[in-house]
């Protein structure tokens, strides 16, 4: 519930802000907030229907409820799409800052729409299809992700998820933001040299404002990426180790690590609310308007 409310607040700020469509990254961050809100909403519904009596329902209805809520497929699909969305934002920021000329010459509006569509395709392939294909209602219980064609496929898919949903994105985050920060540091030195050489104040101020905006976006997304790495490291690692029977599968430990991973969708809106300038500015403007509208006592 906290995650739903926090994401709804950030989503409202992004949609109502005058700068929400000023750049592609604002559109992508709005999409990220929608994904996090969807993940939290499905998680809440799954918890509410946790004691659903499958034995009393028709087979088709019971299987549908098992797929959509009992197996957490909605939450997992939205969470995987959120991970892919972070990768899209990282690549977009990397190309725009590190390869600025190519970005200006080749970036087109349709690429933004593709950047929104790709995470959903990725999550359907890595969450919705695998979970629904391996989940069944057995003796009045929803059994999630256990019915694979063979044990070899189950182990291979466990490794693939570890690479696709954790190692791969983490590598892209580290490489992308390392290069981005290196370019930003170099640009700051160039701005300082330009000031010493007598560059006009108007040009310098415009450059500094642009650098601050870019740095705010980069700083926000770096914090979001670190949050992803910390929240998912236990769950992803533990899942691979249990798949290969390196460590025993303990239900309480799996539940604890699941809470860590699900908390990522709840933490992101607080990061946007405290770090992302578009959301912070909207909050300040509306608070000021409310305070000014109050009659003097």
d(CA 212, CA 187): 12
Q: What is the pLDDT of residues 69-81, one digit of tens each?
A: 777 888 889 889 9
> DSSP assignment, residue 295?
P
Task: Flag whether pLDDT at 200 surpasses 60.
Answer: no
Evaluate whether 17 touches 279 at the Cβ level (below 8 Å): yes
Q: What is the pLDDT of residues 99-141, one digit of tens each?
A: 888 888 888 888 889 999 999 999 999 888 888 888 887 777 7
d(CA 176, CA 90): 6
Task: Flag whether pLDDT at 290 surpasses 80.
Answer: no
Among candidate residues 212, 193, 224, the one with its CA nearest the CA of residue 85: 224
d(CA 66, CA 144): 8
Q: What is the pLDDT of residues 12-44, one digit of tens each?
A: 777 777 666 667 778 888 888 888 888 888 888
**What pLDDT, on a 0 to 100 scale, did the predictor assign at position 81?**
92
Q: How far from 50 is each of 24, 56, 142, 226, 257, CA to CA, in Å?
A: 39, 15, 10, 31, 19
Report the length, in residues, of the chain. 297
d(CA 234, CA 247): 13
Collapsing DSSP to helix, strand or coil, 140 comes out as: coil
d(CA 30, CA 116): 10
Collapsing DSSP to helix, strand or coil, 199 comes out as: coil
Evaluate whether 46 touches 67 at the Cβ level (below 8 Å): no
Task: Flag whether pLDDT at 236 surpasses 60.
Answer: yes
Can you name the CATH fold of 2-293?
Rhopdopsin 7-helix transmembrane proteins (1.20.1070)
**Total Cβ atoms within 10 A of residue 293:** 7
Give the global pTM: 0.82
What does the mean pLDDT of the chain come to? 79
Contacts 24+ apart (CB under 8 A), 283-290: 283/13
Instruction: Give the residue with greater pLDDT, 167 vs 10.
Output: 167
Task: Flag whether pLDDT at 3 surpasses 90.
Answer: no
**What pLDDT, on a 0 to 100 scale, did the predictor assign at position 84?**
92
Q: Tell me the H-state helices in 49-108.
A: 59-65, 73-98, 100-106
Q: E strands of the chain, at which residues?
A: 136-138, 141-143
Evaluate whether 76 touches 124 at the Cβ level (below 8 Å): no
Q: What angle do CA 230, 233, 238 make, to 5 degrees?
A: 150
Record the tokens describing residue 88, joined without a space.
Answer: 């899209």
Q: E strands of 160-228, at which residues?
A: none
**What pLDDT, on a 0 to 100 scale, did the predictor assign at position 107?**
84
Strand partners, 153: none
């Amino acid at each position: 519930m906290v995650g739903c409310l926090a994401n709804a607040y950030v989503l409202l700020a992004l949609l109502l802000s005058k700068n929400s469509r000023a750049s592609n990254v604002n559109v992508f961050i709005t999409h990220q907030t929608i994904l996090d809100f969807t993940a939290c909403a499905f998680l809440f519904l799954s918890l509410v229907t946790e004691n659903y009596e499958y034995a009393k329902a028709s087979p088709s209805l019971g299987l549908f409820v098992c797929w959509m809520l009992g197996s957490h497929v909605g939450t997992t699909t939205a969470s995987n799409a959120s991970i892919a969305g972070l990768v899209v934002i990282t690549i977009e920021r990397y190309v725009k800052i590190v390869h600025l000329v190519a970005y200006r010459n080749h970036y087109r509006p349709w690429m933004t729409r593709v950047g929104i569509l790709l995470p959903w395709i990725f999550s359907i392939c890595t969450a919705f299809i695998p979970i629904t294909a391996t989940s069944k209602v057995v003796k009045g219980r929803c059994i999630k992700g256990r019915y694979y064609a063979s044990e070899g496929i189950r182990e291979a898919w466990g490794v693939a998820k570890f690479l696709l949903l954790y190692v791969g994105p983490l590598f892209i985050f580290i490489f992308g933001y390392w290069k981005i920060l290196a370019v930003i540091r170099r640009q700051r030195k160039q701005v300082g040299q330009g000031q010493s050489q007598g560059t006009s104040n108007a040009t310098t101020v415009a450059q500094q404002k642009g650098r601050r905006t870019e740095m705010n976006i980069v700083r926000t997304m770096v914090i979001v990426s670190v949050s992803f790495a910390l929240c998912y490291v236990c769950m992803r690692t533990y899942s691979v180790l249990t798949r290969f029977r390196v460590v025993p599968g303990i239900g309480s430990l799996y539940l604890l690590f699941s809470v860590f991973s699900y908390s990522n969708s709840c933490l992101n809106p607080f990061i946007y609310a405290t770090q992302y300038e578009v959301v912070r500015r909207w909050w300040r403007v509306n608070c000021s308007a409310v305070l000014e509208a109050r009659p003097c006592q």
